[in-house]
Amino acid sequence: LRQLCGTNLPAGGGPAGLALQRRQTVVFRDLTREPPRPGLPADPRLRSAIAIPAVGGNGRVLAIAEFFSDRQLPEEGLVSTLTSLAGRIAQYIERMGAEAETQRMKDEFVSTVSHELRTPLSSMTGWLHILLGGEPGPLTSEQRQFLTTIKRNSDRLMRQVGDLLLAGQIESGRLSLELAEVDVAELAQEAADLVAPQAEAQKVAITVAAGQPAVVNGDRARLLQLLDNLLTNAIKFTPDGGQVRLSVTAGGGRCEVTVSDTGIGVPPQDRPHLFERFYRASSATEHRITGTGLGLAICRAIAEGHHGTIRLAEREGPGSVFVVELPLAAREEKAI
Ligand SMILES: Nc1ncnc2c1ncn2[C@@H]1O[C@H](COP(=O)(O)OP(=O)(O)OP(=O)(O)O)[C@@H](O)[C@H]1O
Ligand SMILES: [Mg+2]
């Protein structure tokens, strides 16, 4: 089956070319008398041919199925079955095209809205920062408490808007990375420090094991975002009193980052979809843990953008283990 995506099938040449030109099924009954392709010598093993176009609603040929046979003349019944099948294929191709267009419009809409939201949000967080800094005047403890709550929520909204924009960029292949030498071991410590208040609030203990440097050629901010997303998840999906462990090792030209937790885990049926955009496991909704389902899709794009991988490892007992592998920078590779 040839799908006509910019192929330059010559209209009128051979069975498929003729079917394209005539927009109807073409049968070559005796190829020994008519060559299957103009200018090509007839293959003595081929006796007959049939080409069936899949014609869309607007009369455009969307695909052509072309068969050659060593037997004489395809039966009439077969010709009409294949022709009606081609009609179904045309409908399918048109439906897929319409779905892709709807998806494109949705992505464009989300991207425009996110951009529009970011400007007023930046202004709000800016003024909040000034108010909390005490510059316009001293705050009562109650005022400070209220403003802190507003700040926490506007930061959260800002993060979500950022995630939506980034997800849009990833979807359209526009994720850009600013590469430099980055020590992932050092970055791991920084990421753990960033999420420490959240872990403390949820009574989850974090340990970091990142003794040796693990230098990769990467985008520092994006790699920090990857670690932050994994740690935020680990803390979020781990009940009070649980533990989160972040480890970084380097060897064999690769850097391996592992984030493990003693939390609610991921049910087997959700595992294959976890890195898809907006996918949330049933365990997350059952436990009423909020989120958009973008974090892991972003993690995967960042890991793959660095020629690395990310996966959910199998684990004995409760909890989850996420493993990221990245190639070490060439300098580091030689040292090992
Ligand atoms: N450490 C974890 N333990 C258990 N489930 C997890 C863990 N990390 C991710 N998941 C599951 O994978 C889903 C997708 O994760 P992802 O980070 O993409 O989304 P989210 O955390 O729900 O929302 P967002 O990151 O956009 O705020 C989660 O909803 C959850 O079901
Ligand atoms: Mg998340």
pTM above 0.75, yes or no: no
Which ligand 1 atom is at minimum distance from the Cα of 281? Answer: 31
The best mutation among 158, 273, 296 to test binding of ligand 1, ranked by most ligand atoms within 8 Å of the C-beta, falls on 296
Compute the distance from residue 219 Cα to the ligand 1 centre, in Å: 23
Burial 287-301 (b: 16+ CB within 10 A, else e): eeeebebbbbbbbbb
Compute the distance from residue 232 Cα to the ligand 2 centre, in Å: 6
Residues near ion ligand 2 (CB < 5 Å) are: 233, 295
Rounded-to-integer distance, Cα 81 and Cα 52, Å: 11
Nearest protein CA to atom 1 of ligand 1, as residue:
234
**With helix as H, strand as E and coil as C, how does 89-108 read?**
HHHHHHHHHHHHHHHHHHHH
Place of tokens 């008398």: 33
Name the closest ligand to CA 275: 1
Helix, strand, coil % (nearest 5) of the chain?
A: 50, 20, 35
Name the closest ligand to CA 284: 1
Q: Which helix (H) or strand (E) holds 186?
A: helix 184-201
- CA 210 centroid distance within chain: 29
Name the closest ligand to CA 322: 1
pLDDT at residue 36 in the model: 64
Q: Residue 5 has which token pair?
A: 């995506």
Q: Are strands 205-209 and 243-251 parallel, antiparallel or unpaired?
A: parallel
Compute the distance from residue 277 Cα to the ligand 2 centre, in Å: 11
Q: How many residues does the chain have?
A: 336
User: Which of 223, 227, 207 shows the shortest CA–CA distance to 215?
Assistant: 223
Compute the distance from residue 197 Cα to the ligand 1 centre, in Å: 19
φ, ψ (nearest 5 deg) of residue 246: -120, 125
- Are 50 and 66 contacting, i.e. CB atoms less than 8 angstroms apart? yes
Which ligand 1 atom is at minimum distance from the Cα of 284? Answer: 31
Rounded-to-integer distance, Cα 334 and Cα 327, Å: 12
- Are 76 and 50 contacting, i.e. CB atoms less than 8 angstroms apart? no
Compute the distance from residue 92 Cα to the ligand 1 centre, in Å: 34
φ, ψ (nearest 5 deg) of residue 40: -95, 135
pLDDT at residue 114 in the model: 86
Place of tokens 């359209």: 172
Pure H helices in 7-75:
14-22
Compute the distance from residue 253 Cα to the ligand 1 centre, in Å: 29
pLDDT at residue 145 in the model: 94
Ligand 1, CB cutoff 6 Å, lining residues: 163, 229, 233-234, 237, 261, 263-266, 274, 279-281, 283-284, 291-297, 320
- Are 121 and 154 contacting, i.e. CB atoms less than 8 angstroms apart? yes
Angle between helices 220-236 and 184-201 (to 10 degrees): 30
Burial class (CB in 10 A: 0-12, 13-18, 19+), 241: exposed
Tens of pLDDT along the chain (336 residues) come to: 444 444 445 556 788 888 888 999 988 888 877 766 666 666 778 888 889 999 988 888 888 888 888 877 667 788 888 889 999 999 999 999 898 888 888 888 888 888 899 899 999 999 999 999 998 999 999 999 999 999 989 988 998 898 888 888 888 888 889 999 999 999 999 999 999 999 999 999 999 999 899 999 999 999 999 999 999 999 999 999 999 999 999 999 999 999 999 999 999 999 999 999 889 999 898 888 989 899 999 999 999 999 999 999 987 778 999 999 999 998 644 444
Task: Give 285's DSSP letter.
Answer: H
